[in-house]
Chains A and B, each alone.
Chain A
């Protein structure tokens, strides 16, 4: 192959530049991202949880109920914690007593005593409303009571909800 030094440097530089261009730069080619840039105000909030760090204390569930005035003694909660205990005999014990509101102070998944030696793997999974970008609960609300805000938060208009429960049915995460 015949290639002068100048040509080699030129193409090499080009390659480096192109490779250096981060993939995320192409993000703007997505229609949503493009729209948010062109129309301005494209800020969308996110809520991050590092699930690997969760120790299952349940304070987030308690705080959520107090903060949002959810009746404290009901078993429902929009934020909840699940405990998964996989045993060597193949069984997986999963539970979330009172949605994890009081934490997990005893080693009693699903009310069963399990010995340490039998546990293959176990962890806590905190779950919340995912505030989906194209959320089924907003799509199926028949009266426009579930809706987005400009920041992308999914809210419910308490004064307009008729209580049909279609959002409950439509949510694939069991959050509603």
Chain B
């Protein structure tokens, strides 16, 4: 029995060894079980390539929030935070800052009616009352098909002051 019965087993072992050699060549060194000192540290939840965390940390942040704008555009910033639009972020209308003023040098302002209508179009079920600085205020809503159709909202309204021009 010993003569040839084990030969297929040798073939299997050779194939396995080849797979394992390829595995060490291809799988990155930082692939394994991580997060051992957190609640996620186990084979079930923490088996991954550690370098992926760095990939996502290096992933470019595009929205920089108001704090990024307030130093250079202090005048506009002061206006808006004292208005009823205090909670509306600059980038909602001006677009993501990314690396402004280097890249892009100029931001594209969205002056489309549809942008304003996201909040101000009249819907019977849109929450109309909310709170700003502890004071209840009303969300003004208009019927988009009746209220000065065809004209950009910013022709009459100032978004930075949340009022008529």
B 105-149 binary contact with A (CB < 8 Å = 1; else 0) = 000000000100111011111110010000000010000100000
- CA gap between A56 and B41 in the complex, in Å: 38
Determine the chain A residues whose CB is within 8 A of the CB of B45 once the complex forms: 134-135, 138-139, 147-148
Please count how many residues in chain B sit with their CB below 8 Å of the partner chain's CB atoms: 38
Interface residues of A (CB under 8 A from B): 32, 35-36, 39-42, 44, 52-59, 63, 66-67, 85, 102-107, 116, 119, 121-123, 133-135, 138-139, 144-150, 152, 155, 157-160
Given contacts A57-B118, A58-B118, A148-B40, contact A67 B35 (CB under 8 A): no
- Determine if B119 and A152 form an interchain contact, defined as CB atoms under 8 angstroms apart: no
Indicate which residue in B40, B114, B119 contacts A55 across the interface (CB closer than 8 Å). Answer: B119
* CB contact between A147 and one of B48, B61, B121 (< 8 Å): that residue: B48
B126 touches A36 (CB 8 A): no
Complex partner residue of A157 from B49, B92, B95, B117, CB under 8 angstroms = B49
Query: Bound state CA distance, A36 and B47, in angstroms?
Result: 19
B55 at the binding interface (Cβ < 8 Å): yes
A26 CB → nearest B CB, Å: 18
**Residues of B bordering A, CB below 8 Å:** 31, 35, 37-41, 44-49, 52-53, 55-56, 61-63, 91-92, 95-96, 114, 117-119, 121-127, 130, 139, 144
Q: Which chain A residues border B96 with CB–CB below 8 Å? A: 63, 66-67
A49 to chain B, nearest CB (A): 14
Contact of A155 with B52 at beta-carbon distance under 8 Å, contacts A35-B39, A67-B96, A105-B121 already known: yes
Is A138 within 8 A of B44, CB to CB? yes
